Structure 1
């Protein structure tokens, strides 16, 4: 599966514990990443400063569902199960 252009759910729902440019303490769950632009695209895509966890994320129907709304719901649910 390829990422849905303009989804950005993986840049909102999960927490990220590593530093992100502009977010040195990482990002709490259900918080929009500062590097997500107005079109829900990562400003750090292809940039070596992009956190490894973001680089390693791969879209999958089981966690991305059929829409951005489903992806947000599924990722928020997964985040709550891993706390």
Structure 2
């Protein structure tokens, strides 16, 4: 499965604890990553500075469902299950 253009749920819903250029302390869950451009594409895609957790999220029918709203709900639940 390929990422949907303009979705960016995986760049918004999860918390990221490792540094991101422009967000040295990472980002909390639900916050839009500063590296998303105006078309909701990651400016760090393919860049070695991209956090490993970002590369580990792979699109799937289970996660992405039929659109951004489904993906945000799925990732919110995953975040809640894995947060301390």
Tell me, yes or no, whether TM beats 0.5: yes
Give the 5 Å matches for 1:47-62.
47-62=47-62
Deviation of the 1:53 alpha carbon? 1.1
Unaligned stretches of 5+ in structure 2?
Answer: none
Where do 4+ consecutive residues of structure 1 move more than 6 Å? none
Return the TM-score normalized by structure 1. 0.94
RMSD: 0.8
Unaligned ranges ≥5, structure 1: none
**Per-residue deviation at 1:5?**
1.2
How many residue pairs get aligned? The number is: 83
> Could you tell me which residue of structure 2 aligns to residue 64 of structure 1?
64
